[in-house]
């Protein structure tokens, strides 16, 4: 039996024990999917930046669902290359981390930058206020299949697989930290500890109107989304992580950030920034330094 199989078995045994002894109600079966025998990336176009190759295209996942994404590869593929998957925030798309991923690939990393479900070709998952639960579930599955694809088509260092999640992308990253043993490191960027509590308490006018004018509809939406709340999953995280939070976050309060940090178990490193929800260049520099440091392990 190889080391990867051992790692998965140990993780699953530990997860089963946690689930049987914890009051948290998480459902790994929500994110089960049928593995595609030969996952492929269909290239629509490609170009170079320096010696780094950027491939734009699509790949198919379970259900079925087609994901638009970038794959960025270094000038020379090593025998084993570390992999980073970047999940963008709700205000952006897969280009959010493009320059950052190019910098990583110049250092030897292979990077995958998928679009979130509402931006993917022919997606019917288009509205968070109608499909919030489906969006999170599909994002988790899309990342899991992305790992399948990269492991099948590239020589990946399976001891150095990273997932970076920003805001909306952080929600799926927290779930992955509990259910996906192949991911070795996480970066959580300005994420909420509970999507449903945030939606229930936000002062955004569209949510206030929804809560007050259509309370029954809103409460049904909350019930569907609750099994996907980050706070249910964070306690099961085993992998090291970097938590990045903003002192001037326009969407997340200081108390919410502190609760996210408290709920996130060690090993972790926490960095606060004099920035808004989008974070800043200092945070980007810290991500690079932390990832490279972890690669030296």
* Tens digits of residue pLDDT in 258-274: 999 999 999 999 999 99
Average pLDDT, the chain: 91
Chain centre to alpha carbon of residue 39: 20
| Confidence (pLDDT) at 168 | 96
- 25 band by pLDDT with thresholds 50, 70 and 90: low
Q: Half-sphere exposure of residue 219, counting CA atoms within 13 Å on the CB side?
A: 5
| Confidence (pLDDT) at 7 | 41
Chain centre to alpha carbon of residue 162: 9
**How many other CB atoms are there within 10 angstroms of residue 35's CB atom?**
10
Domain boundaries, the chain: 3-295
280-286, long-range: CB < 8 A, 24+ apart? 283/189, 283/244, 284/100, 286/242, 286/244
| Confidence (pLDDT) at 75 | 84
* Tens digits of residue pLDDT in 137-151: 999 999 999 999 999
Would you say residue 185 has pLDDT above 70? yes
Answer yes or no: pTM beyond 0.75.
yes
Domain 3-295 has CATH 3.30.470.10: no
**How many other CB atoms are there within 10 angstroms of residue 24's CB atom?**
14
| Confidence (pLDDT) at 283 | 98
Would you say residue 253 has pLDDT above 50? yes
- Pairing verdict, β 185-189 and 110-114: unpaired
- 136 band by pLDDT with thresholds 50, 70 and 90: very high
- 1 band by pLDDT with thresholds 50, 70 and 90: very low
Nearest one of 30, 26, 294, 33 to 178, comparing CA atoms: 26
């Amino acid at each position: 039996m190889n080391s990867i199989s051992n790692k998965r078995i140990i993780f699953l045994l530990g997860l089963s024990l946690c689930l049987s002894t914890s009051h948290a109600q998480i459902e790994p079966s929500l994110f089960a999917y049928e593995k595609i025998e030969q996952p492929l990336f269909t290239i629509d176009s490609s170009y170079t930046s320096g010696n780094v190759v950027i491939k734009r295209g699509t790949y198919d996942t379970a259900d079925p669902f087609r994901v638009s994404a970038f794959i960025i590869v270094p000038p020379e593929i090593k025998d084993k290359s570390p992999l980073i998957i970047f999940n963008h925030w709700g205000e952006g798309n897969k280009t959010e981390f493009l320059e950052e991923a190019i910098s990583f690939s110049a250092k030897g990393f292979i990077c995958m930058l998928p679009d979130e479900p509402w931006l993917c070709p022919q997606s019917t998952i288009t509205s968070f206020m109608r499909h919030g639960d489906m969006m999170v579930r599909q994002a988790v599955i899309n990342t899991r299949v992305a790992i399948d694809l990269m492991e099948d088509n590239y020589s990946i260092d399976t001891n150095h697989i990273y997932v970076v999640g920003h805001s909306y992308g952080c929600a799926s990253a927290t779930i992955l930290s509990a259910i996906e043993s192949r991911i070795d490191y996480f970066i959580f960027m300005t994420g909420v500890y509970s999507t449903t509590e945030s939606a229930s308490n936000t002062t955004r006018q569209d949510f206030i109107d929804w809560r007050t004018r259509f309370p029954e509809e809103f409460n049904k939406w909350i019930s569907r989304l609750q099994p996907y709340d980050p706070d249910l999953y964070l306690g099961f995280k085993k992998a090291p992580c970097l938590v990045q939070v903003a002192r001037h976050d326009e969407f997340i309060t200081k108390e919410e950030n502190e609760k996210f940090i408290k709920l996130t178990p060690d090993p972790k490193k926490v960095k606060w920034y004099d920035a808004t929800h989008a974070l800043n260049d200092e945070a980007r520099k810290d991500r690079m330094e932390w990832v490279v440091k972890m690669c030296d392990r």
